[in-house]
């Protein structure tokens, strides 16, 4: 274990092999459905969740880990030899998770805990978490890791088209989108996230939504990292891969299914991208 250990939450969407490779600790959020509670990414597979989601009544709700959960996790890591912890979480604009971590960190006295708002979600956050783990493994000090992550966060984007606004409406979360759209029908919503600023865009057709995402990809290219994210539409994601694989020809472009705690709000059919632009040379 490196001296600085990285913890995060289940909305980071990092595939399990990468979590294991880098020794990252993932703390699950919770999904509540019809009186039952599920740990995100632990108690129900992603495929099963998206298969069942349209029939869930009432709509599932989500919850952050408790302060006690953070403390228990950090105590175990301290016992295992961690000398400091960097805990990176989903944007505070979208979830209370990072604030729960901050409160827990204030009360944790065994080793220093630094809590970082990733300003992102899904694999946008995942890429930041992975970079933090790589930097920690190389022996970087906390202030150096944070400085490098700050640069990466500015160049990290997540954007996706949604099939429907219904799940956002039912969940009551991400009201920035609903406020933008009001009661308009027959639109295709697009969500865009960068530096903690969630934005919503609307277009009339799925074709126009795809075109807008292609425009963003062209704008943010060339890429350091690029991935396709989706909610229960693997076939559509694979078709999208064929359209964009030329953008990162020498690197793997993973296709990752969005974790259920995010899918509960975005709904089946969300499809988009997480990317990190290359640093512009002077």
* Mean local confidence (pLDDT), 254-262: 95
Of 178 and 147, more confident = 147
Q: In what order do the strands lie in the sheet with 30-33?
A: 36-39, 30-33, 61-63
* Mean local confidence (pLDDT), 131-154: 97
Q: Which of 117-126, 127-136, 218-227, 242-251 has the lowest mean pLDDT?
A: 242-251
Which pLDDT does position 40 carry in this prediction?
Answer: 92
Q: Which of 102-111, 243-252, 253-262, 265-274 has the lowest mean pLDDT?
A: 243-252
CATH numbers and ranges of domains, the chain? 4-29+64-154 (3.40.50.10170), 156-277 (3.30.1180.10)
Which pLDDT does position 171 carry in this prediction?
Answer: 59
Distance, in Å, from the CA atom of 277 to the CA atom of 261, rounded to the nearest integer, reads 27
Of 57 and 148, more confident = 148
pLDDT band at 224 (very low <50, low <70, confident <90, very high): very high
Which pLDDT does position 201 carry in this prediction?
Answer: 86
The 3-state DSSP class for residue 255 equals strand
Tokens describing residue 267: 């709904």
Other beta carbons less than 10 A from residue 17's beta carbon: 8
Enclosing H/E stretch for 84? strand 84-89
pLDDT band at 182 (very low <50, low <70, confident <90, very high): very low
Q: Are 8 and 241 in contact (CB under 8 A)?
A: no
Give tens-digit pLDDT for 151-178.
Answer: 999 999 999 999 877 777 665 655 555 5
Cis peptide before 58 (omega within 30 of 0): yes
Of 58 and 95, more confident = 95
Q: Label residue 178 exposed, middle or buried (CB < 10 Å: 0-12, 13-18, 19+).
A: middle
pTM more than 0.95: no
Size of the chain in residues: 282
* One-letter-per-residue 3-state SS of 19-35: HHHHCCEEECCEEEECC
Tokens describing residue 70: 């953070």
Q: ∠59-62-65 over CA atoms, to 5°? A: 165
Angle at which helix 67-79 crosses helix 97-107, to 10 degrees, equals 60
CB contact set of 138 (below 8 Å; sequence gap of 6+): none
Mean pLDDT (the chain) is 91
Q: Are 28 and 8 in contact (CB under 8 A)?
A: no
Which pLDDT does position 181 carry in this prediction?
Answer: 53
Q: Are 153 and 125 in contact (CB under 8 A)?
A: no
Asked if pLDDT for residue 133 goes beyond 60, the answer is yes
Which pLDDT does position 104 carry in this prediction?
Answer: 98
Longest dimension (CA), the chain: 56
Asked if pLDDT for residue 94 goes beyond 80, the answer is yes
Sign, Cα dihedral of 9, 12, 14, 16: positive
């Amino acid at each position: 274990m490196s001296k600085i250990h990285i913890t995060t939450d289940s909305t980071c969407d990092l595939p399990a092999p990468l979590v294991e490779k880098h020794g990252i600790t993932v703390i699950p959020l919770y999904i509540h459905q019809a009186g039952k509670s599920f740990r995100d990414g632990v108690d129900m597979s992603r495929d099963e969740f998206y298969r069942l989601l349209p029939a869930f009544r009432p709509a599932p709700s989500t919850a952050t880990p408790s302060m006690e959960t953070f403390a228990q996790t950090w105590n175990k890591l301290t016992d295992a030899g961690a000398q400091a912890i960097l805990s990176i979480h989903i944007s505070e604009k979208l979830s209370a998770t990072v604030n729960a971590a901050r409160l827990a960190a204030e009360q944790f006295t065994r080793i220093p805990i630094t809590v970082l708002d990733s300003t992102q979600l899904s694999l946008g956050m995942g890429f930041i978490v992975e970079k933090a783990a790589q930097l920690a493994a190389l022996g970087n000090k906390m202030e150096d890791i944070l400085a490098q992550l700050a640069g990466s966060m500015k160049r990290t984007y997540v954007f996706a088209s949604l099939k429907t606004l219904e799940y956002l409406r039912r969940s009551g979360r991400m009201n920035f989108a609903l406020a933008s759209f009001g009661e308009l029908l027959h639109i295709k919503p697009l969500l865009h996230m960068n530096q903690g600023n969630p934005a919503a865009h609307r277009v009339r057709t799925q074709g126009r939504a795809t075109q807008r995402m292609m425009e963003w990809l062209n704008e943010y290219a060339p890429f350091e990292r690029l991935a396709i994210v989706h909610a229960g539409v693997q076939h559509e994601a694979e078709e999208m891969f064929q359209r964009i694989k030329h953008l990162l020809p020498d690197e793997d472009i993973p296709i990752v299914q969005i974790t259920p705690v995010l899918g509960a709000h975005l709904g089946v059919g969300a499809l988009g991208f997480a990317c990190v632009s290359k640093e512009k040379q002077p």
